[in-house]
């Protein structure tokens, strides 16, 4: 059972010293967060061996030892089922999909405000998954999240709609029911 005053232990692994220093300084100033840092996957793995698991781990997506998500998987398995999230300068939908599939607790862009980062860590520590709003919007608006790419018939209907035709006109043109056109 955790005590109320117990701090969230966070490990940040990133190969950019300035990022580590800035994040560590800001997060350490939070009353409920303690921070350790590592400059690559090997150093993170060593800290896990010597200090045990962390409440939340943030791993830079493009640092030495990551090899895509192989390094992530190694750290995730070493962190006693506690959350590991991806820290990245350039989050993409593909990265989000791959990271979530691999078991990531979230994607944290390096461009997010520091206060938001601290809140994201708290959110992840509470058992939630954190995703940037911009990636979630992209996901909701992408063709693949709405059933995949458009069929040739759907493209034809879309072209007619682009010409300003009504559903009834398109149905007559394609010899389909108006209900079918509405479904497309």
CA 66 to chain centre: 16
* Alpha-carbon distances of 129 from 47, 126, 135, 136, 149, rounded to whole Å: 24, 9, 13, 12, 27
Dump pLDDT digits (tens) for 145-183.
Answer: 555 667 777 888 888 887 788 888 888 888 876 666 766
DSSP assignment letter at 128:
-
Dump pLDDT digits (tens) for 12-46.
Answer: 999 999 999 999 999 999 999 999 999 999 999 99
Task: Say which CATH superfamily domain 8-141 falls into.
Answer: Response regulator (3.40.50.2300)
The domain limits of the chain are 8-141, 150-183
Show the DSSP H helices in 79-132 as ranges: 93-102, 114-125
Tokens of 181: 């056109």
| pLDDT at 3 > cutoff 60 | no
pLDDT at 79: 95
- Is pTM beyond 0.85? Reply is no
């Amino acid at each position: 059972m955790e005590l109320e005053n117990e701090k969230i232990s966070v490990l940040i692994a990133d190969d950019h010293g300035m990022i580590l220093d800035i994040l560590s300084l800001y997060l350490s100033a939070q009353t409920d967060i303690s921070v350790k840092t590592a400059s690559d996957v090997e150093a993170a793995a060593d800290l896990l061996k010597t200090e045990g698991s962390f409440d939340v781990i943030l791993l830079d997506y493009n640092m030495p030892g990551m090899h895509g998500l192989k390094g992530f998987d190694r750290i995730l398995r070493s962190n006693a089922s506690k959350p590991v999230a991806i820290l990245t300068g350039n989050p993409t939908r593909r990265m989000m999909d791959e990271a979530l599939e691999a078991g990531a607790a979230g994607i944290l862009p390096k461009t997010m405000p520091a206060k938001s980062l601290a809140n994201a860590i708290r959110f992840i520590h509470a058992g939630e998954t954190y995703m940037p709003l911009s990636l979630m919007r992209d996901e909701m608006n992408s063709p693949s999240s709405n059933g995949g790419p458009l069929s040739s018939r759907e493209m034809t209907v879309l072209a007619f709609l682009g010409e300003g035709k009504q559903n009834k006109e398109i149905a007559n043109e394609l010899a389909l029911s108006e209900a079918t056109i509405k479904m497309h």
